[in-house]
Structure 1
């Protein structure tokens, strides 16, 4: 049996949505299942395929469909028992003001419809699972499928511990599309506070394309802030390597993939004191309140002025990556079994195995 996977959103700019699809829903990631990616070219074909061609494929077969990117089309609702959506977060319901017009128009309504009517979902964190459960039907099952974290930027941490414990200047870095939900303006305010607390040359490097909203223009006039825009992998690696700490000030995240990826460089991770970041970073995070830049700056100064802080966070980062990847490996085994069992329930379905393999992503 073919296991169709919606890859129609791939081939554009690569954000967290695309990276999760590549990491968790490729042929290699889902081996030995008989994965058949469904692709498209251009926005118009993507919309047409998601809206009409995917429902047609299920109407003509007893196959399973995985939707790791966009919410399933309303026309897929009659086949809900054979559709397995991957839910990245609950922002489409809870943070509509942080969405652009296209997301509100094309994604929010199908997302709500799917949560109300579909029997099962996959998701990226226990925090997202908890949030989604408040909107799902009472008998819905939500299974964890956490991504393994690879060293996508080819970072090295072995020399970081030997750097000066008193950086001059203190260099913070963050990754992500510049849009309201990422709340980079709060990070810029925190840099201003750090400049008043003993780090006069503190800087913030923001790597990511310009999104919707006016945050980009506000940040351009902020002291110490450099907007790099979208950069190739090699350039991102150089910027991360030069930094002293990674900072996230998002209003919310479903997971926060870059926080984990930056840990391959041994970087301390500064993040909001919220459940999802506690889940992702465990004991390796520096947890702050982005809404209070003065208090957050004081906390960062206190943390990053001990003699051995660099070596401490190199160790904590490595331990956290090991912990997370063990959880991800367990999730993958459970998801393969879940999809296989779902396929076996379909009429006249043979086991959905194309070839033996023990390959895992990453």
Structure 2
């Protein structure tokens, strides 16, 4: 097997330059100006800003965990509708709570970048709010989901500290067509109320991942993704992000990485082989070899001809290892989630 290498590009101020071209690359600092609507013909033909905005898929998501719970929340703007989703897996009681609604786009805003911006969505007792304040190295998240016949009330109020190194990508889906993502693995503090229980998040023991995401994806959007956080067999904390998507030239452009000691380390392209009881995630360099065992099921599936969704987001545990050019990370304890996403929307 060969040795994998990928350069981290020098910081940039905006995603699209003055000529309307995307600054393709992988970065480890926030990009101040996420000006995707300034791109010249990103869909392959001349079009106006309202149509580019309509075709631009946008979401902000977080994963939150400690010894007691694992939480996934997202505001996803597909432009004809907004999806708000919160999944809580209570490790202590082996219970899953899933809150989801489809919302009118007028009731949601997805942030543009991470410097003093806001994502919010609220409707009928469901609310999820992000304040991305990287000028102060903080991301604040508040969520409140009211009780129903089958679900208890859930309230989350947390602050994540953006003091680690992010992976920020602008990667090609076509000639001048891109997806953008800002992801980071961070310490977090705050609390969650679930039923009659308060769960505290201690920054020495709790973690959060953030994903600020936009893309001129094809009508048929497709990607497989996993993330996990935990400890190796020596007790060292790590987090990882692995995606197999529609980006062109994944050897050069992918968002795969592992965080160690607050530093982001790039990883090679991967493939995800999905079985009913186990997912296998591997690369061709011998650097990634994982098994993912889902313990929960969550899906959004429908087919309305022009619009359809085949989405699965299981939560579960990981086994396996990473090998970073001789730095061997054997997983001791690791929890996370995966996504199989197939949208026509």
* Same fold at TM > 0.5: no
Which structure: greater helix fraction? 1
Pick the structure with greater CA Rg: 1
TM-score, normalising length: structure 1: 0.25
Which structure: greater strand fraction? 2
Higher RCO (CA 8 Å, separation ≥ 6 residues): 1
